[in-house]
Structure 1
Amino acid sequence: MASLQHSLSIHHRSLSLNALPHAQSGLQKHGVLPVCRRGFSFLVRAEHASLASSSIPQDKCGRRQIIAVGVIASWVSLVNQTLESFAAESKKGFLSVTDNKDGYSFLYPFGWQEVLVEGQDKVFKDVIEPLESVSVNMIPTGKLDIRDFGSPQEVAQILIKKFLAPPNQRTKIVMASELYKIIFGWRCMPQNDVDGKAYYTFEFVAQAPNYTRHALGAASVGNGKFYTLTTGANERRWDKMKDRLQTVVESFKVFNV
């Protein structure tokens, strides 16, 4: 027992997560992952249905179909341009990181600087507000899906209690769930995965004697690795930073390499 506690203490200081696969090996699969459904696709189909059901003289059918197709094509093109513009707008004030070797990418706020932290693969932080940071950690795993480790609540509980906060801090999970993204004002509908991978997201508070950190995290499995991204800020700046930190978490993506 003493040896195990010593091992967990070492892993905790490095935030390595090495004990997670073993600790959760008996947990059962749970949950489904949502993906986004674009609202304009239904409108296009509805327009086609309206054209098909309308009463159009046979001799004018060809011309009207051509006009309708042109109108629909132009409208879809306009919507696509709007979506692309919306995506570009949502990234203003952020810089992107893509690790083609380890297979992940994410955004971080402009002005944060990269620093080296033992046990972490990537860390960016604000030099003025040191509690405002984002870090990515990876460990090997034989699992193929994060749901093999248990529910979002179970995984978040172990990550936060054992690895993401020092043992002398009081922690509280605010929420833990599978990933939901918002695109163009539409909330995603539940499906099995996003880009073939499931993601868990969680929110927690860690209280130290002289400060409280409010944090967000995301975790996924791919390429034989368990990935964890964590970002946060001082509680006193949470209202100001939460939207930006949410953008960081939602931008996290694991891809095959």
Structure 2
Amino acid sequence: MATLPSWVSTLHNKFFNSTTRCVVTPVSTIKACSKEVPLNDNCEILSSICSKRRALLIGASALTSSMFNSSFAFAEEVPEKYRAFVDFVDGYSYYYPADWRDFDFRGHDSAFKDPFAALQHVRVAFIPTEKKDIRDLGPMEEAIFDLVKNIYAAPNQVPTIYEMQEHTIDGKNYWTFEYNLESEAFARTAFATIAIGNGRYYTLVVGANERRWSRLRNKLKVVADSFRMIDI
């Protein structure tokens, strides 16, 4: 049986043979075992614990070393107190704090949150696009301002953008920016990283209540800067 690297915290079951719909992963944060197809012998043994957010640990022989090429070398150096989320099906990866737990965030593909402070969380979503690169959106300053003002901010919120950065990794361009959304009753600050690849427009947002931001900023910046697209 193949041994999987310890940094892999989640793999979507669609990556594997369609006749075996259980997830292969060496740790506990995993997706569900589908009930749409007959369970194999390994799944039958553990079928009583298979549910929407609980999955089965099964043989990893279908997973070969070719999956873990140089594109994922960064994940072998996960910072202390972080874990790596890797989605080979939807083509992206990122780090998240090791004590955070996965949860369902409506309209998003993956999300993790602080178990004691739900507003401290990271979430990733993507939509189809015909654009090939984030620069196709236009000048960075204009595109980010329009995004925060018209998409992220509610009508009763005042947006403020503090910082914008572009970085290029393995020929892929990413924009990361820090912003605040404030209303009369509430304020939240966050980092967002956006990128375009695989025919998808990806968005990662990681943030916290404004009162906690100064204490958490550096920790959450690691999450924002870790986002990578994986060719699919």
Shared fold, TM over 0.5:
yes
Scaled to the shorter chain, the TM-score interval is 0.5 to 0.7
2:105–2:123: 8 Å Cα contact kept in structure 1?
Answer: no
Matched, 1:91 2:91: no
Aligned pairs for 1:90-239 within 5 A: 91-179=79-167, 193-239=168-214
SS of the residue aligned with 2:117?
Answer: coil
SS of the residue aligned with 2:203?
Answer: strand
User: Alpha-carbon deviations, 1:176-198, whole Å to 9, x = none?
Assistant: 2212xxxxxxxxxxxxx321211
RMSD (CA atoms):
1.7
TM-score (norm 2): 0.64
Q: Measure, in 2, the Cα distance between the counterparts of 1:92 and 1:102.
A: 26
User: Alpha-carbon deviations, 1:64-91, whole Å to 9, x = none?
Assistant: xxxxxxxxxxxxxxxxxxxx9xx84x61
Identity of aligned residues (%): 38
Q: Measure, in 2, the Cα distance between the counterparts of 1:104 and 1:152.
A: 22
Instruction: Kindly provide the amino acid, as one letter, of the partner of residue 226 in structure 1.
Output: Y
State the shift of 1:114 in Å.
Answer: 1.2
Q: Measure, in 1, the Cα distance between the counterparts of 2:116 and 2:149.
A: 27
Total equivalences in the alignment:
158
State the shift of 1:95 in Å.
Answer: 1.1
State the shift of 1:208 in Å.
Answer: 2.6
Identify the structure with the greater helix proportion: 1
User: Alpha-carbon deviations, 1:15-44, whole Å to 9, x = none?
Assistant: xxxxxxxxxxxxxxxxxxxxxxxxxxxxxx
SS of the residue aligned with 1:102?
Answer: coil
Structure showing greater Rg = 1
SS of the residue aligned with 2:119?
Answer: coil
User: Alpha-carbon deviations, 1:73-129, whole Å to 9, x = none?
Assistant: xxxxxxxxxxx9xx84x6111111001001000001122111112211111111322
Structure 2 gaps of 5+ residues are 1-72
Q: Measure, in 2, the Cα distance between the counterparts of 1:197 and 1:215.
A: 23
Matched, 1:243 2:218: yes
Q: Measure, in 2, the Cα distance between the counterparts of 1:136 and 1:162.
A: 19
State the shift of 1:231 in Å.
Answer: 0.6
TM-score (norm 1): 0.58
SS of the residue aligned with 2:169?
Answer: coil
Q: Measure, in 2, the Cα distance between the counterparts of 1:115 and 1:219.
A: 21
Instruction: Kindly provide the amino acid, as one letter, of the partner of residue 100 in structure 2.
Output: W
More RCO (CA 8 Å, sep 6+): 1
Q: Measure, in 2, the Cα distance between the counterparts of 1:215 and 1:227.
A: 16
2:125–2:202: 8 Å Cα contact kept in structure 1?
Answer: yes
Q: Measure, in 2, the Cα distance between the counterparts of 1:165 and 1:128.
A: 25
SS of the residue aligned with 1:131?
Answer: strand
| More moved, 102-111 vs 155-164 | 155-164
Q: Measure, in 1, the Cα distance between the counterparts of 2:146 and 2:122.
A: 19
1:161–1:167: 8 Å Cα contact kept in structure 2?
Answer: no
Q: Measure, in 2, the Cα distance between the counterparts of 1:178 and 1:211.
A: 29
The residue number in structure 2 matching 1:33 is: none
Instruction: Kindly provide the amino acid, as one letter, of the partner of residue 150 in structure 1.
Output: G
Instruction: Kindly provide the amino acid, as one letter, of the partner of residue 121 in structure 1.
Output: D
